Amino acid sequence: MPAFIPFLGRISFTDYVIVVLVAMEKVLTLVLNCIPQMWIDVGTTIVNAVTRRTLSPMDSMAQQLRDAKDIHEMAQVFGVEIEDHIVRTEDNYLLTLHRLVPNPANSNGQVVYLHHGLLMCSDVWMCHTVRECNLPLVLYSLGFDVWMGNNRGNKYSTQHLDRSPGSHEFWDFSIDEFAFFDIPNSIEFVLTHTHSQELICVGFSQGSSQTFAALSVREDLNDKISLFVAIAPAMTPQGLHNRIADTLLKSSPRVMHLFFGNRILLPSATVWQKTLPPTVFNVVIDLANRFLFNWKSLNISPQQKHASYAKLYSTTSVKSVVHWFQILKAQKFQMFEEHDIVMNSWNPTRSYQITSFPTRTNIRIPVLLLYGGTDSLVDIDVMKSNLPQSQVFDVMIPSHEHLDLLWGRSVGDFVIPNVLRFIWFFKDIKTLEADTAMGSTQELASPFAKTYSDSASTKEA
């Protein structure tokens, strides 16, 4: 009688397909890893030398940004400098913060902190080929003191005082740790270093989620963040576009860890990025985005994809992505369920309740939700129901997807002006509040929704 393997007997045909695809990817990655790095470097040099001969000025900018090894070299492309600062979190991770070196002669006294999304790092804020479409550079030119954060485990934050990056323990973190430690500890460092009492916070995608979570569990942050701009915010997405991928999403964590291990998610991505020609790599990213999210990326130019897709992946933990799968499965913005990992199953009959982040009750600052009208990861009605109604304002940019709000052609027309309008509006309101005996900031801002929407001119009729 043939041996019966209980686990394999319980997974579906679709799961078998996924297992085969993952196995093929691992084999191909192993083969590519056997190719000497010198050969890869020579091939890359030849391709770059050939393509540069026919580059337009905009293509040349894209190539310079793509070739930049880190955010320091990217900043040099735009003629600015970056400082590194190291934050020690309460649980002993060492995070790198990046600061645009301030110009004392051009300072408005306000501090801005920006935080990236899932599988990203601070690089994503500085790789638009049009200078005026890079939010940090625009803020810097207006006199803001600009800082950019990095999550534990990404390209710039792979150190711990006691744990090796090669250990399972180093990668044992989820969104909970981002919310309890990374965001609040980074913001506290910035405030201490700049001798400021509060700052403005901007998050992209998961960077917004982390900040929402941090504001809800570390209530003192509401006194340290004056305004929060959430760009393409994700909180409880409905799911993925593709049925196979959605099935994977709804699988047990045991299946996820079988595919990806229990440390770094998709470590082979850097191998593919180094070995595939840029044009092919960009097509692969477009196909993956279409497959998973039904994003067509029509608002991002080929030159921009050449520059920014190379900055799209940075390391994170498998556990943090499993956390997202738990949120999607439960359709609640909840904390990580450790029991789910231990029992290796989604248990609908469990006798305990997973704690949700108390975003509706504990967030007390003005929030702008800036999202694309065709972004499959943003369910704006569900998100607003999880946030305090009196504090939240939203602007929808029609016909824009998730990454369009970072790298689209219209970032300088719709995204950045809305961010600045929001900041300046509440700066004026706070000045009025300080100069008069009128009520609270929120009472003064009660007509903001209509005023803001009318002036933004980005709403669909």
In a domain, 435, yes or no: no
Q: What is the pTM of this model?
A: 0.84
In a domain, 324, yes or no: yes
In a domain, 427, yes or no: no
pLDDT value, residue 345? 46
* Tens digit of each residue's pLDDT (9 = 90 or more) over 269-309: 777 777 788 888 899 899 988 888 889 999 999 999 999 99
Average pLDDT for 348-354: 67
Q: What is the CATH number of the domain that holds 79?
A: 3.40.50.1820
Dihedral of alpha carbons 222, 223, 227, 232, sign: negative
Q: Please, are residues 174 and 181 in contact by the beta-carbon 8 Å criterion? A: no
- Residue 316 has phi, psi (to 5 degrees) of -150, 180
CA angle 230, 231, 234 (to 5 degrees): 75
pLDDT value, residue 275? 74
* Tens digit of each residue's pLDDT (9 = 90 or more) over 407-426: 999 999 999 999 999 999 98
In a domain, 414, yes or no: no
In a domain, 457, yes or no: no
- Judge whether residue 141 has pLDDT over 70: yes
- Judge whether residue 240 has pLDDT over 60: yes
pLDDT value, residue 265? 77
- Judge whether residue 349 has pLDDT over 80: no
Q: Would residue 402 show up in a list of annotated catalytic residues for this protein?
A: yes
Q: Which of 145, 176, 375, 394 is catalytic?
A: 375
Q: Please, are residues 377 and 205 in contact by the beta-carbon 8 Å criterion? A: yes
Reading the block at residue 382, the tokens are: 């569900």
In a domain, 232, yes or no: yes
Residue 308 CB-density burial (10 A; 0-12 exposed, 13-18 middle, 19+ buried): buried
In a domain, 452, yes or no: no
Q: How far is CA 199 from the centre of its chain?
A: 19
Per the structure, the complete domain to which residue 154 belongs is given by 6-409
Residue 154 CB-density burial (10 A; 0-12 exposed, 13-18 middle, 19+ buried): buried
* Tens digit of each residue's pLDDT (9 = 90 or more) over 49-71: 555 554 555 688 999 999 999 99
**CA distance linking residue 173 with residue 152, whole number of Å:** 9
- Judge whether residue 130 has pLDDT over 90: yes
Could you tell me which residue, 448 or 372, shows the higher pLDDT? Answer: 372
Q: Which of 122, 174, 186, 205 is catalytic?
A: 205
The answer for residues whose C-beta is within 8 angstroms of residue 34's C-beta and 6 or more apart is none
pLDDT band at residue 434, thresholds of 50, 70 and 90?
A: low
Q: Would residue 160 show up in a list of annotated catalytic residues for this protein?
A: no
Average pLDDT for 91-114: 96
Closest CA to 152 of 126, 115, 124: 115
How many structural domains comprise the chain?
A: 1
**CA distance linking residue 334 with residue 357, whole number of Å:** 6
Least confident of 105-109, 136-140, 189-193: 105-109
- Residue 221 has phi, psi (to 5 degrees) of -65, -25
Q: Which of 116, 182, 402, 404 is catalytic?
A: 402
Taking CB atoms within 8 Å and a gap of at least 24, the contacts of 130-133 are 130/411, 130/412, 131/78, 132/412, 132/416, 133/407, 133/411, 133/412, 133/416
pLDDT value, residue 344? 45
Q: Coil, strand or helix: which one is 353?
A: coil
Q: Within 10 Å of residue 352's Cβ, how many Cβ atoms?
A: 8
